[in-house]
Amino acid sequence: MHKLNNATKLTDLSRVRSEHRRLGPTVAGVTSVAVVPRPASAKLTLQKVSQRYQSPHNGQLLALDNIELSVGAGEFVCIVGPSGCGKSTLLHIIAGLTHPAAGEVFLDGKPVQGAGTDRILIFQDLGLFPWLTVAQNVEFGMRMAGMSKNERREKARNYLRLVHLANFEDNYVHQLSGGMKQRVALARALATEPDVLLMDEPFAALDAQTRDLLHDELERIWAETGSTIVFVTHNVREAVRLGDRVVLLTFRPGRVKTEFHVNLPRPRHLEDVDVAQMARDIHDELRDEINKSLEAEYRHETHP
């Protein structure tokens, strides 16, 4: 299980974090820059990515415009922005579930042509199968890949131990709490050993206590596996709590407005003063984009 043999990954991760700290002076632990030099060896690169949709009222709707973004190996990048800015659309493009109208996505320098097990997306609704047990849910991707029963059962058990669910492998989804379901989805994604883990607001529906516990769990698993994570959230403080970098998108069309490099030591907590201060700094820029979204909604209501 190469992902759990992580000495090389953690070395790369330390190098990426050291590079972040080197970028320049910080205010309350965060470096805010409009344009950030790309990592020397990017795991994931988006070049001039745009996306359009057909609108019933306005013809073509430009959802994303000229997105330029690089994510280093082992980096944890959080994406924030107002509703309707294209955050989830961006994850679908990276996952290969949607083709961009323009631009390209590269993984390890190779163009992404479609979906693949090297990029796994965890949806908001998790997509767990209620007729399968916890272990069978975790094994699903491996079974589709043709892995033998004994091998996939052993790997499923290892990843269930990683998310502290080893005693629930024979349970069904309806027998689990919301936080436990999230951990099953995480174990299923990790079991396929993807190069990039994509997460679309995975904790939005959870209560505050469960969310805080899962922040700790996700950070621990990320450190142990050396995974590269792209995490979409509406919660700015959550983004600061988890991310090496926070990328702020503009209101539609979504463009990269600002990137914030978070240099606070780990582990962090939502109630930390420095985390709260950084979240306020980011939210000051986000507020302008939220206001634009509200103005657009008002114009639509008054001039249908």
Domain boundary among the residues 170, 193, 216 is at: 193
| Residue 145 shares a structural domain with residue 12 | no
| Residue 212 shares a structural domain with residue 83 | yes
107 DSSP β-pair partners? 44, 110
Distance in angstroms (rounded) separating the CA atoms of residues 134 and 175: 10
Query: What's the token pair of residue 122?
Result: 């965890």
Q: What pLDDT, on a 0 to 100 scale, did the predictor assign at position 83?
A: 85
Tell me the pTM: 0.81
Q: Is residue 125 part of a domain?
A: no
Least confident of 116-130, 151-165, 268-282: 116-130
**Number of compact structural domains in the chain:** 2
pLDDT tens sequence across 227-256:
999 999 999 999 999 999 999 999 989 999
* pLDDT level of residue 131 (50, 70, 90 thresholds): very high
The better pLDDT of the pair 52, 304 is held by 52
| Residue 144 shares a structural domain with residue 274 | no
Q: What pLDDT, on a 0 to 100 scale, did the predictor assign at position 21?
A: 34
**Whether 241 contacts 269, CB under 8 Å:** yes
| Residue 104 shares a structural domain with residue 140 | no
Q: Is residue 285 part of a domain?
A: yes
Q: Is residue 247 part of a domain?
A: yes
54 DSSP β-pair partners? 60
| Residue 138 shares a structural domain with residue 162 | yes
For residue 70, what is the domain's CATH number? 3.40.50.300
Q: What pLDDT, on a 0 to 100 scale, did the predictor assign at position 28?
A: 43
Distance in angstroms (rounded) separating the CA atoms of residues 257 and 271: 26
| Residue 73 shares a structural domain with residue 91 | yes
Mention every residue, 6+ apart, whose C-beta is less than 8 A from residue 209: none
Give the DSSP per-residue string, 49-108: EEEEEEETTTEEEEEEEEEEEEEETT-EEEEE--TTSSHHHHHHHHHTSS--SEEEEEET
Q: Is residue 252 part of a domain?
A: yes
Domain boundary among the residues 193, 220, 238 is at: 193
Read off the pLDDT of each residue in 282-289 and give the average, rounded to a whole number. Answer: 91
Domain boundary among the residues 177, 193, 209 is at: 193
| Residue 11 shares a structural domain with residue 32 | yes
| Residue 148 shares a structural domain with residue 293 | no
Task: Return the sign of the alpha-carbon dihedral for residues 5, 44, 94, 200.
Answer: positive
Residue 120 above 70 pLDDT? yes
Domain residues for the domain of 169 are: 130-193
Q: Is residue 174 part of a domain?
A: yes
Mapped onto helix, strand or coil, the DSSP state of residue 14 is helix
Query: What Rg, from alpha-carbon coordinates, does the chain have?
Result: 19
Query: What's the token pair of residue 92?
Result: 């679908």
262 DSSP β-pair partners? 30
Q: Is residue 124 part of a domain?
A: no
Q: Are strands 196-200 and 245-249 parallel, antiparallel or unpaired?
A: unpaired
Read off the pLDDT of each residue in 182-196 and give the average, rounded to a whole number. Answer: 90
* pLDDT level of residue 117 (50, 70, 90 thresholds): confident
174: which DSSP letter? G
| Residue 104 shares a structural domain with residue 164 | no
